[in-house]
Amino acid sequence: MASLHSHVFLVVLLFSLHGFPPSTAAKGDTLAPGETLTATAGKLVSSNGKFRLGFFRPGTNKSSSSSPGWYLGIWFNKLPVITPVWVANRETPIADHDLRATQLQISGDGNLVLSNHATNAVIWSTLIASTNGTNTTSGSRAAMAVLMDSGNLVIQAQQGPSSSAAVLPWLWQSFDHPTNVMLPGAKMGWNKVTGLKRVGTSWRSRVDPGLGAFSFGLETNGTRMATLRRRSHPSRLYWWWSPDESPMQIAALRSLLHMYPQTRGVIQPVYVNSSEEEYYMYTSPNESCSSFFSLDTSGQINLNLWSEADRSWRAIWTQPVDPCSPYATCGPFTVCTGTSDPPCGCMDKFSRASPQDWELGDRTAGCSRDTPLDCRNGGRSSTDRFRPMARVMLPYGPEILDGAPASRSDCEQACLGNCSCTAYSYEGSRCSLWHRELLGVSQNDGIEISSQDTLYVRLAARDFPSSTRGARRPVAGAAIAASITGSGFLVLMLLLLLLGVSKNSWLRWWCGVSSSLATSQGDVGVVAFRYGDLGRATKNFSEKQKLGAGGFGSVFKGVLSDQTAVAVKRLNSAHQEKQFRAEVSALGQIQHINLVKLVGFCCQGDHRRLLVYEYMCHRSLDSHLFQSNADNAVLSWSTRYQIAIGVARGLSYLHESCHECIIHCDIKPENILLDESFIPKLADFGMASIVGRDFSRVLTTCRGTLGYLAPEWLSGVAITSKVDVYSFGMVLIELVSGRRNASVVHTSNTCHVAYFPVQVINKLHEGDVQSLVDPKLHGDFSLDEAERVCKVACWCIQDNESDRPTMGEVVRVLEGLQVLGMPPMPRLLAAITEFSSVASK
């Protein structure tokens, strides 16, 4: 974080400073009485060489000038990137012209003091005497400051005149006064005797270590809750974790820590609750590894590991995963979208209040209006209007009107008549008003935020296109506009034709879909349909034609003019571009017998986006496994086994044979379709992620379906194609058993969830596979094949992604070309087994 500017400045100081009072420069890891530490004289480095105490100026080469000044801090000594883990004078930066006169020393009363010797002004002090009420210099005791190997700066009281004398417990330590970082060995908690609370606080921005908007700590009410809060009046709790409330989370966390090779033997969480203290801590036995927890400026806490390969820090765990979860992280009059990078943006007709602060990660100022509101006669004569924002999480702090207005128009007038009212919503005959700043508006991304609410934001009339201009000649004006538009359209079409661009490619470009992502498949092109044609094919999307519904939309059976049967998926919203593009991007240029074929699409005007697939007469796998009716015959074992191989081949193609690796992200029986020959085809690529072959991971928000999610989704880290492998393993278990993996079991006195994968791996180890097979088969199955499928499934659902096979290996095993050994019990499954047995007692 140090800048070139700061280095040059220090070099100049090295040759120009003069006038310091006579003293001895500090060296080694100890600052003794009579010694000083300045910007150019003396240094403290821990005895293991890992940490350094000194002066630094935050920032990069481009942004160092934005830093408020210089700070006394501790950082990793041997790494090429200065990463401060503790800052002394957070709220009192040192100006350039004062740095030459600034020094750190042990004062006469035993405190560690940072001061300006020219003005005798104290910049920062440990204030030990005022904290514990004792005199640190009584008798022959002398204080000294030591930078420990852990990165903890401590003040020790020494008995006797020499440094070799017995060292007494420290009087003060930096670990008790954290900034935004928690190192191994540091405690997050409180001292029950002294009342000391160790609370970390985020930086104000990436170049300003001052107190930021968010804090982390441990509640003192006996709940064991670790919390993240927004520092406001009152403070706002937005994330918490407690093993008492969620017994499985600690097992899941430990499993995640063992999942990545770089964390093995590095991270060991600890919880202590004694008569004197209560705290969380983590230790790191591997001294060669550098790690720390940090609270960033946006309110997310991260576990960071140093990567020697990349020569940079990597965040391998993040909470909360959704960047929009922290309270008002984007500031007023903003919209947060968890799938965007960066996630924050201004509402329409608003602009960043402080663009420079935004670039540095400080968005507390949010956005401000481009045009002031009109408020005459107390709002009764206002010309302001409202612009709708659909499918958003509504802001914090609404005023719910008593005696709800009879209509949305009445609710709008109630807001318009109050000068402080900036927005309203009208849902279910309930009128909600917001006054002044709007905080916490998040966009529905179709993955984590699923609100269907509409917010009406108040804007000045000038922010809307004029509706009166040209009103006297509407017909002529419309004709001229139509003429211009039509001419432009013809010119554009002519140019595209001259360039050899097909109609379908132009339509794809017009919809904003890259032609490189929606090219033709073999000899059959992806067709751009007209909305009216698909409406007629599906009988205007009638309920009788409806095949099913999912998270992103409904699917209808349709018959095209050439009598071809198709399945038409209508997305829930015309604005669901992310899912629309994901489907076209994933299927537009690939073709495989085990992938559903994309016939075409429609993105005409403001209509909902439509995707057209080949029709699969036997529908989805779940209807045959879990639904007993006359229309769904019981799948034979040979059919199930061929379905397993087919799905594996489809996934292997996506992961290993496409130009770019495609991660489906939502493998489950509902997304496995069966044709007339019961050949399986993977469908629903609305959550798919595409990874370039030069990369092995992709950072994305948590997506998929509970019950099929790999453990690494919980960590918020970059995922690999192994998440599909995990989900496939869960599907295999359901394919063998003909039942859902998780089901509610009722006994005479209790009701608990039975997790079938636990039983599968136990029975596999006991050699009792036949008891796992679907009883509807009446024993008509191959025991060797069933055992093979169960082994593959249990290897696929291992906690550690590196222990799971690739889909290519899965195909070879299922085809009998490769053999797998007995899989171990995954740690997370073992924890579930233990928890289930305790819960059922």
Residues recognised as catalytic = 666
Residues in the chain: 841
The three-state secondary structure class of 777 is helix
Surface-to-core class of residue 825, CB atoms within 10 Å of its CB (0-12 exposed, 13-18 middle, 19+ buried) = middle
Q: Give the whole-angstrom CA distance, residue 258 versus residue 734.
A: 27
Tokens for 437, please give them. 């700043």
Question: How many CB atoms are located within 10 Å of the residue 474 CB?
Answer: 9
CA-nearest of 822, 718, 762, 684 to 318 is 718
State the DSSP H helix or E strand holding residue 71, giving kind and residue range, or none if neither.
Answer: strand 71-76
> How many whole angstroms separate alpha carbon 840 and alpha carbon 505?
60
CA dist 177 and 86 (Å) reads: 9
* Distances from the Cα of 364 to the Cα of 204, 231, 352, 373, 436, angstroms: 9, 12, 10, 22, 15
**230 touches 207 (CB < 8 A):** no
Give backbone dihedrals phi and psi of 303, rounded to 5 degrees, phi first: -100, 115
In terms of Cα–Cα distance, which of 180, 208, 306 is closest to 1?
A: 208
Beta bridge partners of 170: 156
Place of tokens 């927004």: 230
Whose tokens are 């240094």? That residue is: 43
- Residue 485 CA to residue 503 CA, distance in Å, equals 18
8 Å CB contact between 77 and 46: yes
With both helix axes pointing from N to C terminus, report the angle between 756-766 and 783-796 in degrees, rounded to the nearest 10.
120
The residue written with tokens 């992709």 in the block is: 698
In 592-636, beta strands by DSSP E? 598-602, 610-614
Burial class (CB in 10 A: 0-12, 13-18, 19+), 57: buried
What is the rounded radius of gyration, in angstroms, for the C-alpha atoms of the chain? Answer: 32
Which of 402, 406, 386 minimizes the C-alpha distance to 455? 386
